[in-house]
Structure 1
Amino acid sequence: MAVSEQLRAVYSDYSPGEDRPTGSYVALMAAFSILAAWFARWFRVSGRQLPDRIDTRDLALVTVASHKASRLISKDRVTSGIRAPFTKYQDDAGPGEVSEQPRGRGLRRAIGELLICPYCLGMWTSAAFVAGLLVAPRFTRWLASVLTVFFGSDMLQIAYKKAEQTL
């Protein structure tokens, strides 16, 4: 039995009767790992040093920004054009958000699942923000600040709407 047939058998036994692109999930994990390894190698070759620790304030800032970025990419109505080749519109969701389904099979479906899952995207956005802090801290703090203020504004909009409904 060829290796590809063995892998197909392993993946089909993982979730019988369901169309899960597990091989494509592996490809996405490999892509993330390759990008992370490339960044680590580039960082080292550039002569930069890893800090002993990242300031707690920076961690708090990029945590909120990463959360907002992952929701912005995965759920925002305006960013649906980025997701459209990989997803299909289902319905309106929360304020300014849409609900979508992944399209297709294989890698297209896996990318669609990644793009509509803020939890899944969180790893990618978190890694990007931490890498940004290492390479371009001033710009990264500015961008993270914009997204953090955006998050705070969203929370105030939601609280205001709830207050209106109770009056």
Structure 2
Amino acid sequence: MTMLANPRPRWLSPRSLVALAAALAICFGAAQLGSIATQPNLAPWYAGLEKPWFNPPNVAFPIAWSILFALMAVALWRVVMLSEGAARRSALTAFAVQLGLNALWSFAFFAARSPLLGMIEIVPFFLSILWTVARFRPIDRVAAALLYPYVAWVAFAGVLNAAILVLNG
């Protein structure tokens, strides 16, 4: 059952466009936080780690994450526009937790230079994304579906993190 604040949101209304801009700012703000932890540690630390054969080229990461943060922002925007009350609060809480854990992973893995801390942190991070999908789905199936690539990428990141931990442990 969809919990609509407005059965037909005006997607191009000023309120909607402000909500979209806020969602983009929030998501890309979290991306910037993660980048602050990541960038100074790419060389020589990360570059010097043993990596598995399935490690993507470095150029793939900012491309993938930019797409994922954009999808997250659109999903957040849709949930804000299509919900109210307890459903909205629950969905936004889940979203905020996963977004915070997203940024925290970069600090655990890169800033702390610890694949072990990254591995420990990625478990609740991944679970929080699933929680977010579960909170978004009753409000808007499209918003939930927009997070599926994120689920897949973070699952892959967990496998990659584990492999780096094993190869460098």
Output the TM-score relative to the length of structure 1: 0.32
Bigger relative contact order, structure 1 or 2, given CA contacts below 8 A and separation 6+? 2
Larger relative helix fraction: 2
Bigger radius of gyration among the two: 1
Larger relative strand fraction: 1
